[in-house]
Structure 1
Amino acid sequence: CLGKILKNVGQYTKVVDTAIQSNPQVSALVWAGVRAIMQVALNHVEAIEGLEVAIAALLEKMTICEFYAGIYVGVPLTSGSAANSLQRQRMLESALPELYAAVIVFEVKARTYFEARVTNTLKSFDIEFQPFIEEINAKERVIRECADGATMEKIRNIEGVLQDITSELKPLAKLNEISTTATHTLKVTEEIRNNTQDDRILELLTLLTPLEPLKRHQDVKMFRTKNAAAWLLSSESFCNWRDSNTIPVEDCIRVFCCFGIPGAGKTVISSVVIDELYSQFHKYPSIGIACLYADYSDQNNQILVHILGSFLRQLVQETVPKELIEMLVKIKRKGKKVAMEDILALLRIRLQQLKRAFICIDAVDELAPKVQQQLFDVLKELGTNNNTRFFITGRNYIENEVKKRLQAMQQHKIVISATRQDIEEFLRQQIRDDLDADAMDGSLQKDVIEAIIGKSQGMFLLPALHIKMVLGMTTKSKRRKALETLPTDLYDSFKGVITRIRECLSKSQAELGMRVLMWLHFAYRPLELAELQHALAVEKGDTEFDAENIPSRKALLDCCLGLVIVDEETLTVRFVDTLLICS
């Protein structure tokens, strides 16, 4: 405020000077004293203001210099040449104390300046302190130059390091692509490892049994019509058996039996039931499903230890117990076979672990008699576990044996007979697949269906043989005549087919057809397609094998006129029904 007042008063000094000239004797001396006082006061105010500015500048300089000191003082400068680095280090370390000394001198001078009160205040602040300010600025410039030089060296050094890193990373220009590839490779490796682990477990599980009933199941499905056995799945008794966890134990059906004459469709019904169980419960790990398709021609392989091993393998398919793997590893290492006792013990444990278990056995009558008895004894024991359900099919004569052996469990039986609806659907499908469409019309189709159903006798097999016989004719007239001579029972049907093989086919086709039937009838076990083809290629008098004499799959099937089929999953050749083996 005082500075502003003095400056405002100073605006009128010229006016006062003019007045003094008009009367110098009186006012000159007085005005000279006033002006001296005003000049001293103004100089004092300017000195204070200048000191404030100088102190602010000093604080900024000191902050910057302290920052430089924190970075460079006491830290070896490794950038640039060794000589320049050492020299700059020493200059910087000496310039800092000199700066601090100049600041202290400035402080002492400022204190002396204001304590002198009068003598020095006649000089302006700039004149009085300029040398000291310049000294401080000079020291600060030295520090800045040293620090800036060191900084540039560090920057150049960093740039050099970055260039080195860049040159080293050039071969990795596709690093992202490599990383993606590596990630994919890791995933593939993990999948391979898991697949390898799964393959190893599957290999171990084959020690339990050579039987593969699920492959047989896939083959049976191929011959089913779309809505086969729908009536059974919707029946109250079947729902009681399937959903027995919601029914009191004493009221639930534990054993569901289907008995019927040969060719009635028992195997097809078994496949329908197995599919129904898988569709309903396969997603639940606590519910197990196992099946067996007994086969008269495979009795030597379908022994009790293999059957139980197959049940165990299917029931642990989703989660294989550690103790089972360890046991199989030891057995494989020793080159031994799995003992019946071990399989039965593990089967008991597994059934106890499951909330519910379904065991389906198709054509139990086709097992060897001794194996039948052994299996019934095991089923009786396993049935003590209330969570286990059995589905059994067989010919009529086996009914009493099942009833007696499994009497401790609640049973329900139905007699299987091919329904008109199922047979008609099957026949329509066969006609749709007929390659000779010109030999069929709507009227003939209706007559074929009615005639064949009328002689079906509750069987699927007989209509299957009849429709093969009819569609084998090449004209409508011949097909109508074939309807008039359809056999009335299976034996006559088989006999009629064999007669047609011998009399209606060419000599070479008839010979091939009869050789196929003989090989299958006398074979010790089911023959694979390739085995049968190679056997048929060898003829009497051959001294070496002739690969060009191997008959095609189509040729050997066509020559048998429907009596022989090939299981697609197992690629084994077998009769269309086991009744042919016994005939």
Structure 2
Amino acid sequence: MDLTQSSQVVTSSVPKKGDQILQTAINSFRTVLTPEQLAELDCIQSVPETDAVLVFTAELDLRRQSKKGKSIASRLFPVLQAVHSFTSIIDTFISSNPTIAALVWGSVKMTMTASIMLNAASYYEAFIELCMELGRICPRFEQYQALFPASKRLQEALCTFNACIIDCCRRVIAMPKSSSGWTSPLNPLNPSFWQSFQQVFESDLQKLRDHSKNVNKEIRLAADQSQYRNNELQRLENEQADQSRRSLSRFMSRTRDDFDTMHKLQIMRSEEVENSLSSYDYIKPLKQARQKRYPKSAEWIFGTDEFKSWVDGTTSGLLWCSGKMGSGKSIICASVIDYLLTRPSSRRSHVTFFFSRFDDSESMRAETILRALARQLVTVQDVSGHTKQALETIKSAPGDILFDLSRLLTRLLSRKGPPSWVILDGIDECQREERQILTKVLTSMLDDGVNARLFITSRDHATSTFKEDYVILGQISMNCSAAQDGMAQLVDQAVQKCLDAEELLVEDQTLINEIKNTLTKHADGMILWVTLILRHLCTQPNNERIREAIAFKNLPRSLTELFNRILDRTVSEEKESIVQALLPWLVAAKQPLTLSQLKECCLISPLQEYTIRDRYVNGIHLIDNWFQGLVEVDYETKTVHFIHASVQQFFLNASDNPAFSNFHVCLEDADRHIGDVCITYLNFSDFKTTLARIRPPLPPIAPDEICQKALSNEWSWPRLLRLSQRLQGKKPRAADIDASFASYTRAADKTIQETILLDHPFLPYASAHWLSHSVNFDQEHCQTWSLWRDMLMWGHELAASPVSEEHHRTVDGALVFWATQNRHSALLDVVVTSAELIEQYHHILFDYVLKESDTNPLLHHMLSTKSLGHELNSLCCRAAYHGRLEIVKTLYEAGVDVNAHGGLLGRPPNTLPLTEAAEKGHIKVIEYLLQRGANPNIQTDLYRSALVPAAELGGLKGLQACRLLIDAGANVRNTDALLKSCASGDREIIKLLLSSGADVNASYPAPQWKLPSVGI
């Protein structure tokens, strides 16, 4: 029997307590439904698909297209995702009734649909707020996923929590039916409805908060037993495998409980392998783009011939959409994704997507993009055969995995059936090197004829991106006439929204129409321009000032002019000091920071010794007003973002107006400043005191326990801080079973840890990014250089390591390799200046010097230390072999002897730079070495002289090399160069050698010829 088949085969038929709790809630929910709603609920029989939340929220927005305002369905995402994750795990691990999980999901889904479609704005807005609060209360799936299967108490706690959500849904459904008459406070048309709604459901929210606390308590309790259970599961797995090899019949006669245990373990392991592929939260940018979309404003693209042909598959599999900055390409991408998710003929297709964000460096890496795409295409059922092998290879690969990723992605996209859809937004945000890697993979996939259709948006035209690659594609511009119609719709709805919200206080319909016409006419395709101008109009005190603002002569002609006007208003309102203090953090942070993080870290001074709460920023929630709308706060994560990449670029570029010079941000200086603050922060005396308090003296350990203790998992601050980071913004990676167990093994410390994180929200960021922000550190400009160097050399308990799950301990080979991969010049300088480190890791540095094009500063630093001797001879040989003339020059000028033997990895130990250059035909290097006294007649382990590999190379380069060597005095008589050239049949080289005195009668040892196989 296949262990990956549905869990219903192996679960008990006796209802479990969790089932009963959920069934009771579902039965109660059914009592408030209409006959039509009951019939709809009864039709739900299957567990939701993995993309059910994406599809459902897209459907909700589609149904609400006739309503006013922006998309709101994405605000339901957190609670929907929490319930969806719960249903998937109960279906696998506890439910004896196959429909329980489906009905839990169906109940919540039905409530959302009924509430959102109710024709009362106050009702669904209040309901949205309720759902957002529910999303904040819901237990995080990654916190309980690994612990759930083994703990009945945890299972029951989670079932109780979700049953409470269903009960809350019951009250939401019943509320409009029980609210009659204008005077009823629960009538959605009553002005006091919002407050009444909140009061009615406060008791439900409090109950859910209590149940959530109970879940967290059960998580800690389950963790105390988890390590033992994990060991037992592994033992059972080993026993089962051993017994199955000896006797299949005995294997099939195992008890149902053991079989079920094995099945659960296999599912958990498959999920672990599957989710190790990517932990990046690729859904968050989609939700943000949906939030900015007005109904029907992006539908123009669906009516274009190019899009219709692309969807129907009658043209190229790649559709390229280009548009200027601020034209709404991300919104178009989100609309295309939702169109495909809700299109009936696409329901069985995979819709995969990725948004590269200008303010998230991780999203601009080709590897991150490819991993996220592959992760969306893989399901637990796929984790077998070639796919499982590929996933495990990628998971365990120590170095570059781009080839393996590309091959896996090509295989996944080549499956038979309906085509997969791949949507990519903002690849122009990636650095040129990353963009080249990505386009190379995409081109390769298209050449392989994958069963997929690609939609890509970019500021650049396709020709400038693919350049020399010949790619058949369709193209569409955001500046086409159809897009202009979409702009008119957007302006109409945006203005109406401001009027409805009483932000734009205009009653004159003529002026309202004038505003709409002016914005539509002069937007030039830029949604960003419309948004900011409209915000400015909302601040005007009367109609006269509004008319002045929209007069053609007063309208800003470009985004830069518009941004300058905003800065002018910032200065006039005396907010320039706080804005300038916040700018480095918004521009240079590795990922968007939350309001609470900015509040804590913004005004920390380098080398500050402890937390000074008087330096916390007051009123940080007003940051949107301080920046006059140039930043926005994400409703779900509370992270702060520039509203567009053009805003970030504006602050990075020096202003033409001297009055705004202090708003200019030098990225290198800002990065260094954040690094200084991170180092300062991690060394606060607050943390040293706390760590000393929670780290009790070690009890005596018996000798027979030492190995066991050494091998067991230990509690680790960096693990906890990484988890905290992922909860704030990133999608959590799948439960790493062992790591999850380890994170909770000290339940007594848990309260202290939570308190520290609540009091110091910047701690997870500082722990994760202390090293990445120190790339530009140096002793002259960095105030925390000594502190940083000590942390680097001796470790730090709060500093996360980029190469392990534990805290940073010291500089080792893995870290040095990481530094070369990430071009961390400061860390490499520390290695170079340490005689001990450079002796251990010079081979890694040599690889880096040879790989990179601009490494002269590091090489000069290496040479100035005088720590390396004969190792430099090998580097010179390798540089000559790779044709790196500038490195050969630098080494010679530093005193390296070009006639001294060195070695190349995987070759005989004694070789010479001239020989290596001759073997590869690097003429410029050969000329330089000969001019600097290289002797062409010195013998190596492979060749009698440099003339031999040159003759063996043949061709034009071989002929040129032979001439240079002979002119420099190479002995043509005492080598087998003539024999090599005769073997290759190169007449020009043979003539040259003979004319130079080669002996045609010379004898040489017979070569070891290999006879070709003839299949006998």
Q: TM-score range by the shorter chain?
A: 0.5 to 0.7
Aligned counterparts, 1:13-412, within 5 A: 181=17, 184=20, 190-191=90-91, 193=93, 204-244=273-313, 247=314, 252-280=315-343, 284-285=347-348, 287-317=349-379, 319-323=381-385, 324=387, 339-355=401-417, 356-383=419-446, 384-395=448-459, 397-402=460-465, 404=467, 407-412=470-475
Take 1:210 and 1:469, find their aligned partners in 2: how far apart are those partners? Answer: 40
Report what 1:449 is aligned to.
516
- CA offsets per residue over residues 360-403 of structure 1, 9 Å max, x none? 111221111011111111001111224221111111x4432345
- CA offsets per residue over residues 143-170 of structure 1, 9 Å max, x none? xxxxxxxxxxxxxxxxxxxxxxxxxxxx
- CA offsets per residue over residues 229-288 of structure 1, 9 Å max, x none? 2121122321211121xx4xxxx2211111111111211111111111111269744x22
1:573 to 640, 661, 664: 640
Report what 2:599 is aligned to.
533
Take 1:574 and 1:389, find their aligned partners in 2: how far apart are those partners? Answer: 31
Question: 1:522 corresponds to which letter in structure 2?
Answer: A
Q: In 2, are the aligned partners of 1:439 and 1:474 still within 8 Å (CA)?
A: no
Change (3 A) 1:182 1:459: closer
Take 1:465 and 1:203, find their aligned partners in 2: how far apart are those partners? Answer: 45
Aligned counterparts, 1:390-539, within 5 A: 390-395=454-459, 397-402=460-465, 404=467, 407-416=470-479, 418-419=483-484, 420-436=487-503, 438-484=505-551, 485-503=554-572, 505=573, 507=574, 509-536=575-602, 538=604
Change (3 A) 1:258 1:428: same
1:256 match: secondary structure: strand
Take 2:19 and 2:357, find their aligned partners in 1: how far apart are those partners? Answer: 50
Report the count of equivalent residues.
394
Take 1:183 and 1:467, find their aligned partners in 2: how far apart are those partners? Answer: 53
Question: 2:289 corresponds to which letter in structure 1?
Answer: V
Structure 1 stretch displaced more, 475-484 or 263-272: 475-484
Question: 1:471 corresponds to which letter in structure 2?
Answer: C
Take 1:433 and 1:279, find their aligned partners in 2: how far apart are those partners? Answer: 30
Change (3 A) 1:300 1:424: closer
Take 1:523 and 1:500, find their aligned partners in 2: how far apart are those partners? Answer: 26
Change (3 A) 1:445 1:553: farther
Percent identity at matched positions? 21
Change (3 A) 1:467 1:415: closer
Take 1:542 and 1:282, find their aligned partners in 2: how far apart are those partners? Answer: 61
Q: In 2, are the aligned partners of 1:528 and 1:573 still within 8 Å (CA)?
A: yes
User: Residue 490 of structure 1: CA displacement?
Assistant: 0.7
1:292 match: secondary structure: strand
2:495 match: secondary structure: helix
Higher-Rg member (1/2)? 1
Report what 1:9 is aligned to.
none
Q: In 2, are the aligned partners of 1:265 and 1:460 still within 8 Å (CA)?
A: yes
Take 1:534 and 1:516, find their aligned partners in 2: how far apart are those partners? Answer: 11
Take 1:531 and 1:354, find their aligned partners in 2: how far apart are those partners? Answer: 48
Question: 1:274 corresponds to which letter in structure 2?
Answer: I
Question: 1:238 corresponds to which letter in structure 2?
Answer: F
Take 2:422 and 2:15, find their aligned partners in 1: how far apart are those partners? Answer: 50
1:527 match: secondary structure: coil
- CA offsets per residue over residues 502-537 of structure 1, 9 Å max, x none? 11x2x3x44333333332123344334443332235
What is the TM-score of this pair, normalised by structure 2? 0.36
User: Residue 475 of structure 1: CA displacement?
Assistant: 3.4
Change (3 A) 1:410 1:375: same
1:213 match: secondary structure: coil
What is the TM-score of this pair, normalised by structure 1? 0.60
Change (3 A) 1:432 1:240: same
Structure 1 stretch displaced more, 260-269 or 184-193: 184-193
Q: In 2, are the aligned partners of 1:216 and 1:567 still within 8 Å (CA)?
A: no
Report what 1:42 is aligned to.
none
Report what 1:558 is aligned to.
625
User: Residue 222 of structure 1: CA displacement?
Assistant: 0.6
1:359 match: secondary structure: strand
Question: 1:380 corresponds to which letter in structure 2?
Answer: T
Asked which structure has the greater RCO (Cα within 8 Å, sep 6+), the reply is 1
Q: In 1, are the aligned partners of 2:364 and 2:427 still within 8 Å (CA)?
A: no
Q: RMSD of aligned C-alpha atoms? A: 3.5
Q: In 1, are the aligned partners of 2:592 and 2:639 still within 8 Å (CA)?
A: yes
More strand by share: 1
Change (3 A) 1:204 1:572: farther
Change (3 A) 1:511 1:445: farther
User: Residue 428 of structure 1: CA displacement?
Assistant: 2.3
- CA offsets per residue over residues 399-452 of structure 1, 9 Å max, x none? 323454663434333344552423423432442354345455423322222232
User: Residue 311 of structure 1: CA displacement?
Assistant: 0.7
Take 2:512 and 2:320, find their aligned partners in 1: how far apart are those partners? Answer: 36
Take 1:308 and 1:220, find their aligned partners in 2: how far apart are those partners? Answer: 21
Q: In 1, are the aligned partners of 2:394 and 2:405 still within 8 Å (CA)?
A: no
Q: In 2, are the aligned partners of 1:228 and 1:272 still within 8 Å (CA)?
A: no
1:534 match: secondary structure: helix
Question: 1:239 corresponds to which letter in structure 2?
Answer: K
Report what 2:164 is aligned to.
none
Question: 1:581 corresponds to which letter in structure 2?
Answer: Q
- CA offsets per residue over residues 87-124 of structure 1, 9 Å max, x none? xxxxxxxxxxxxxxxxxxxxxxxxxxxxxxxxxxxxxx
Take 1:433 and 1:319, find their aligned partners in 2: how far apart are those partners? Answer: 49
Change (3 A) 1:256 1:545: same
Report what 1:101 is aligned to.
none
Take 2:345 and 2:627, find their aligned partners in 1: how far apart are those partners? Answer: 39
Structure 1: gaps (5+ residues): 1-177
Question: 2:93 corresponds to which letter in structure 1?
Answer: R
User: Residue 496 of structure 1: CA displacement?
Assistant: 0.6
Take 2:562 and 2:568, find their aligned partners in 1: how far apart are those partners? Answer: 10
Question: 1:346 corresponds to which letter in structure 2?
Answer: L
Take 2:19 and 2:519, find their aligned partners in 1: how far apart are those partners? Answer: 64
Take 1:342 and 1:545, find their aligned partners in 2: how far apart are those partners? Answer: 47
2:414 match: secondary structure: helix
Take 1:280 and 1:515, find their aligned partners in 2: how far apart are those partners? Answer: 47
Change (3 A) 1:192 1:254: closer
Report what 1:545 is aligned to.
611
Structure 1 stretch displaced more, 224-233 or 549-558: 549-558
Take 2:584 and 2:500, find their aligned partners in 1: how far apart are those partners? Answer: 29
